[in-house]
Structures are given as C-alpha cells and as structure tokens.
Amino acid sequence: MTKRSQRGVTLLELLIAITLMSLLSGGILYGLRVGLTALEKTNNRFLANRRVLGVDRALQQQLAGLIPVGATCLGPDGAPGGKTRYFQGEPQAMRFLTNYSLNEAARGFPRLVEYSVIPGENNQGVRLIVNETIYTGPTSLMGQCLGFRMDPARGLPIPLFRPVQAGAGSFVLADRLAAVRFVFQEKMPAPQPPRWVPVWSAPAWPLAIRIEITPADANAGSLDVTTVTVPVRVNAEPFKQYAD
C-alpha cells in the first residue's frame, strides 16, 4: 500500500500567521489614526484662516460703509445740548453708523456699531468686540452723547459718549491678542502731509481709520488678524444745508 502524505498547518505556523496579521492590522490602524489627526489639524487651520479672513473683510466693509449722521448731546442739566457728528475715535473705543452688518452684510437697516478693546479671558491679552444696534432714525442716538470734554492737545471740544458695554449680544471679532489700537488719519493744511492721531477731535471726518492689531502668539503655519487700514469716503456733513 502507498501511504498518502497528509498536509496541514502546525500550531506554530498558526501563531506566526496570527501575529503577522495583528501587526499588520495595528500598522493600518495607526496609519489611519495619524491620517485622521492630520486631517483634523488641517481642517482646524483652514477654519481658523477662514475666520481671520472673515474678520478682516468685516472690518473693512463696516469702516468703508460709514454713514455721516449727526447726534444731539446732552447738556449739564440733562436737556438736549449741542450737536456733533456721530463718531467716536479713541485708542480703545470707536463708534459710528454704517450700512454693513455682521449679521446681514449689506442687507437690512443701517447699524450703530461700537468697537471696544477689553481684557481677554483670565486677563490674558485683550480681545476686540463689537456691538450692533439697528438704526431707526435720530431717536436711536438719544442718550449716546453725554456732553463734551476738552481735548488738551488742541483745545477743541470732543463729544463724550457713554462707555461701550460688553454683553451677551457682543461679537468677539478677535481674541488672544497682545494689543489693539485705533488711530485716525487727519488732513493737514497744504503742503503738510496727512497725519495719524490717536484721538479724533478735528472738526471733520477722518481720511482713513486704522485698527492696529498685534497677535499674542504669531503662528507661521496660519493666518493672524493683522492691522487693517480703510479709507473713509465721506463728503457730506450732517448739519450742512445743501442747495437743491
């Protein structure tokens, strides 16, 4: 009789095969994890860059959409006093009327906007916030201007507006910043070039507005909110009588 050879898998071979499959599966899972982590980081960076571009665009659109309007200030007795342009320009606060809204873009009603620089979370750095209020007419400005104070550098009166308050409806345009400052370009008599001033008290509208932004931690791998300079194209005065 001829013996038939019997072929099979030994226990050692089976253990080796299982070990190799486990190592291969572990390598595949690790590769997937690394790929998903890289994808998440890339997506987060993309969203952060998109947010920065959105902030830059919003600042430019709101500043470019400045609407010249006048406001009545309160007198010492609380009664209506003098009139002023509805514009506040100080190093840490700014307010004006614009046709651009963060919520509705260029659609809808004009908005009263208030910019302010406030301390960041846990007093780490600063953040830039903005408040928006629908403008429905001159009554919207009542109580905004509390009177006047003198600019010691010029000897000119500056409208004294109520402080900007951060609330639940405030937009945080930029956070984790080292510093933010508003400066304003003033037209000078010829032949002097325009100059930048930190407090606006000139009897005119500024030629341009600059928001100087310094990030707390600059990241070479992503965009940072940086300085924005926008020209102000306003050629109308709210209290001037124009011929028909």
Whether residue 148 contacts residue 158, with contact meaning beta carbons closer than 8 Å, is answered with: yes
143-152 exposure pattern, b = at least 16 Cβ within 10 A, e = fewer: ebbbbbeeee
Question: Residue 211: in which H helix or E strand, if any?
Answer: strand 208-215
pLDDT at 244: 47
Q: What is the pLDDT of residues 170-208, one digit of tens each?
A: 988 888 888 999 999 999 998 999 999 999 988 889 999
For the chain, the helix, strand and coil percentages under 3-state DSSP, each to the nearest 5? 25, 35, 40
Whether residue 94 contacts residue 88, with contact meaning beta carbons closer than 8 Å, is answered with: yes
Section 85-102 average pLDDT: 92
At residue 106 the predicted structure's pLDDT band, cuts being 50, 70 and 90, is low
The alpha carbon of residue 9 and the mean position of all alpha carbons in its chain are separated, in whole angstroms, by 69
Report the amino acid identity of residue 177: L
How many residues in total does the chain contain? 244
pLDDT at 242: 44
d(CA 120, CA 130): 14
Largest interatomic CA distance in the chain: 127
Q: Which residues are 185's β-sheet partners?
A: 196, 208
Q: What is the pLDDT of residues 108-164, one digit of tens each?
A: 789 999 999 999 888 889 999 999 999 988 888 888 888 888 888 777 788 889 999
Helix (H, G, I), strand (E, B), or coil: what is residue 83? Answer: strand
